[in-house]
Amino acid sequence: MNRPAGIGLRTPHLAEIDCDRPPAGLLEIHAENYLSASPARETVERLRSDYDLSVHAVGLSLGSAEGLDEGHLARVAALVKHLEPAWVSDHLSWSTAGGRYFNDLLPLPYTEEALDVVVRNVERVQETLGRPISIENPSCYLGFAHSTLSEPEFLSALAHRSGCGLLLDANNIAVTAHNLRLDPQDWLAGLPSLAITQYHLAGHAVNDADGEAILIDDHGSRVSEGVWALYAEVVKRFGMRPTLIEWDTDIPPLSVLLDEARRADRIALSEESRARAA
Amino acid sequence: MPGLRDLQAAFAAHLSGVDRADLVALVAGDSIPAAARLDVYRHHVLESLTAALAATFSTVQALVGQEFFRRLARDFVRGCLPTQPVLAEYGAAFSAFIDGYAAVRNLPYLTDIARLDWALAVACQAPLGRCLTVADMSVVPAERLPSMSIVMPQGTALIGSPYPLDAIWQASQPDAAEGTVDLNSGPCRLLVLRRRHDAAFTTLGAGEEAFLASLIAEGTLEEAAAAALGREAGFDLSNSFARLMALEAFAALREPAP
């Protein structure tokens, strides 16, 4: 039995989900929003009985050359211990430098030096949590000229060396591929299927950058048709995984997110039955 | 090529508003220039932190309007980036920043409203503990009470202002009825508390404020009562104590230090 797709749990939907318990394969929370014993966290504690949880961190800054913020890591570890989620993840990016936090998933040069840094930081997190985590591919708006590895090569080496899983965000693949002029098929071809633990789906915006279209990963709309097609390709290539719809800006009614989740289910089931028939 | 640490320091400087030619040179550009690509990140950092401040300081935003708030918040963010990733804990210095912000001098109550927004946000993140009950009180011999002090619930704060913050706050809520607030209606004293589903405030008398300020400073009940009577001659201790207990404003009794 395959798990139905889930949704990112957002504050405006908390009360409704707590009351109605709609069907969803999993609920994902952003770790940094639930580190205090707030009323929202009490709701999540209640929801644990009906849903598998994913704790998705956005602030561990796994790519920081200066190492991790141990105080923040300890708080995330306490939350993970408290909620015992089915999955824990963060991103292939950095957000902290010189003691300042930039609240963005900032890009890394894909070099051997950066790989050593991320492996070290991921190992430190996994050692602290006592469990493997999954690393998500970020949306990129730039590439560094001195990168010596492609993003999939970097992710594969990271998974191999640290034992972490990979969380594939189909929207981020589409955004990065468009912005950095890459072929999403080539991008997918470089990944180790066994390391892939989860999929994310979300909407993006199209902005203007000096007259050229640049895709912005704003999680503020329905999943685009191009990303649905890429998701079908991902399922065809790697098989089904726990899948999640994310929506963070201009958050619509809960029914819209659940509707997107059901569409993900239909695509995944159709790709899987096609693969079985083949 | 710079090491990762130097690259991240240069990127951090860029995000703080400093143009770094050395960083631009590292970015692969094409029909979208490297500088425009870097600006996507600078823009997002400013916008997302502005949105985080708007969520915490929603009353301030309601009072000054979205456009002006953006300007105010961006000026704050540029000089005072977060030092950790929990956005609900970002903005401790915002009220002090507003206090020194020339463009809002005509809104002298705005600093105090920011303090109130912040206190409510802090209380909302505080754990909900048990509160002092009548049963707890009944087992303590009355003669011991004056030397005892009170453990206050986490998230408790006192906010005082020469302006009617409670009326200003109410009038700024999305569902507020049309009306005017008399800014000269006198000072107000508020007690901010974590509630079961959020945080809220209640207005206090002058004596009650002195009483609670003394308790928060870990004064004994005797000292707190003296402070309250010093402030308000007619302070009714048993009445106020019962009212505050009913508001679940006390966590527990604390034995005197040996």
CA distance A264 to chain B (A): 28
Closest residue in A to B128 (Cα–Cα): A37
Chain centre to alpha carbon of residue A261: 15
Are the beta carbons of A39 and B124 closer than 8 angstroms?
Answer: yes
Asked if B93 reaches chain A (Cβ–Cβ under 8 Å), the answer is no
User: Percentage of residues in chain A with pLDDT exceeding 70?
Assistant: 100
Q: Which residue has the tokens 């000026």?
A: B75
Q: Which of B34, B85, B124 sits opposite A95 (nearest CB)?
A: B85
Count of residues in chain A: 278
**CB atoms A108 and B83 under 8 Å:** no
Q: Is residue B85 part of a domain?
A: no
The pLDDT tens digits of the residues spanning A219-257 come to 999 999 999 999 999 999 999 999 999 999 999 999 999
| pLDDT for the residue A90 | 98
Asked if B11 reaches chain A (Cβ–Cβ under 8 Å), the answer is yes
What is the interface pTM, i.e. ipTM, of the complex? 0.96
Q: Which of B38, B45, B84 sits opposite A69 (nearest CB)?
A: B84
Q: Is residue B238 part of a domain?
A: yes
Closest residue in A to B77 (Cα–Cα): A102
Please say if the pLDDT value at position A175 is more than 90: yes
CATH 3.20.20.150 describes domain A6-277: yes
Q: Between vectors from CA A29 to CA A257 and to CA B86, what angle results, nearest 5°?
A: 125
| pLDDT for the residue B154 | 96
Are the beta carbons of B166 and B204 closer than 8 angstroms?
Answer: no
Are the beta carbons of B153 and B122 closer than 8 angstroms?
Answer: no
| pLDDT for the residue A218 | 94
- How many other CB atoms are found less than 10 A from the CB of residue A204? 22
Residue closest to B137 by CA, chosen among B150, B156, B124, B126? B150
Residues of B with Cβ-Cβ distance to A70 under 8 angstroms = none
Please say if the pLDDT value at position A155 is more than 90: yes
Asked if B190 reaches chain A (Cβ–Cβ under 8 Å), the answer is no
The pLDDT tens digits of the residues spanning A81-118 come to 999 999 999 999 999 999 999 999 999 999 999 999 99
Query: How would you class A244 by CB atoms within 10 Å of its CB: exposed for 0-12, middle for 13-18, buried for 19 or more?
Result: buried
pLDDT band of residue A2 (cuts 50, 70, 90) is confident
CA distance B139 to chain A (A): 30
Which residues have a Cβ under 8 Å from the Cβ of A110 and sit 6 or more positions away?
A144, A147, A148, A149, A150, A151, A153, A154
Residue closest to A260 by CA, chosen among A240, A271, A242, A246? A246
Beta sheet of B188-194, edge-to-edge order: B157-161, B188-194, B199-203
Residues of B with Cβ-Cβ distance to A33 under 8 angstroms = 86-88
How many Å apart are CA A109 and CA A148, to the nearest integer? 8
How many Å apart are CA A197 and CA A135, to the nearest integer? 9
| pLDDT for the residue B67 | 97
Q: Which whole-number Å values give the CA distances from A173 to A7, A168, A190, A228, A258, in the listed order?
A: 19, 8, 13, 12, 23
**Residue to substitute from A142, A176, A216, interface B, most B β-carbons within 10 A:** A142
Tally of helices (H runs) and strands (E runs) in chain B:
12, 5
Strands (E), chain A: 6-8, 27-30, 53-56, 87-91, 94-97, 100-106, 134-136, 165-169, 196-202, 205-209, 212-216, 243-246
Helix (H, G, I), strand (E, B) or coil at A115: helix
Whole-number average pLDDT of chain A: 96
Are the beta carbons of B150 and B254 closer than 8 angstroms?
Answer: yes
Low pLDDT (below 70) residues in chain B: none
Which residues have a Cβ under 8 Å from the Cβ of A5 and sit 6 or more positions away?
A24, A25, A201, A242, A243, A244, A245, A261, A262, A264, A265, A268
**CB atoms B81 and A100 under 8 Å:** yes
Asked if B7 reaches chain A (Cβ–Cβ under 8 Å), the answer is yes
**Residue to substitute from B22, B37, B56, interface A, most A β-carbons within 10 A:** B37
CA distance A224 to chain B (A): 21
How many Å apart are CA B131 and CA B152, to the nearest integer? 9
User: Percentage of residues in chain A with pLDDT exceeding 90?
Assistant: 94
Q: Which of A98, A142, A145 sits opposite B12 (nearest CB)?
A: A98
Parent domain of B172: 125-258
Q: Which residue has the tokens 């704050």?
A: B76
The phi-psi region of residue A83 (left if phi > 0; otherwise alpha if psi is between -120 and 50; otherwise beta) is: alpha
Q: Which helix (H) or strand (E) holds A20?
A: helix A14-20
Q: Which of A71, A145, A209 sits opposite B32 (nearest CB)?
A: A209
**CB atoms B48 and A145 under 8 Å:** no
Residues of A with Cβ-Cβ distance to B27 under 8 angstroms = 142-145
Please say if the pLDDT value at position A1 is more than 70: no
**Per-window interface: B 100-159 vs A, CB < 8 A:** 124-128
The phi-psi region of residue B248 (left if phi > 0; otherwise alpha if psi is between -120 and 50; otherwise beta) is: left
> How many structural domains comprise chain B?
1
How many Å apart are CA A265 and CA B212, to the nearest integer? 56
The phi-psi region of residue B199 (left if phi > 0; otherwise alpha if psi is between -120 and 50; otherwise beta) is: beta
Q: Which of A38, A117, A142 sits opposite B28 (nearest CB)?
A: A142
Q: Which helix (H) or strand (E) holds B67?
A: helix B66-79
Q: Which two tokens stand for residue A10?
A: 């957002």
| CATH code of the domain covering residue B249 | 3.90.930
Going by their DSSP bridges, the two strands A134-136 and A87-91 should be labelled as parallel
Q: Is residue B178 part of a domain?
A: yes
Closest residue in A to B1 (Cα–Cα): A146
How many Å apart are CA B34 and CA B256, to the nearest integer? 65
**CB atoms A97 and B40 under 8 Å:** no
| pLDDT for the residue A3 | 87
**Per-window interface: B 217-246 vs A, CB < 8 A:** none
| pLDDT for the residue A23 | 94
Q: Is residue B102 part of a domain?
A: no
**CB atoms B32 and A210 under 8 Å:** yes
**CB atoms A141 and B40 under 8 Å:** yes
- Per-residue pLDDT averaged across A50-65, rounded? 97
Sign of CA dihedral B24, B26, B31, B32: negative
**CB atoms B86 and A143 under 8 Å:** no
Domain boundary assignment for chain A: 6-277
DSSP B179-229: ----TTS--EEEEEEE-SSSEEEEE--HHHHHHHHHHHTT--HHHHHHHHH
Kindly report the backbone phi and psi dihedral angles of residue B253, in degrees, each rounded to the nearest multiple of 5, phi listed first. Answer: -85, 145
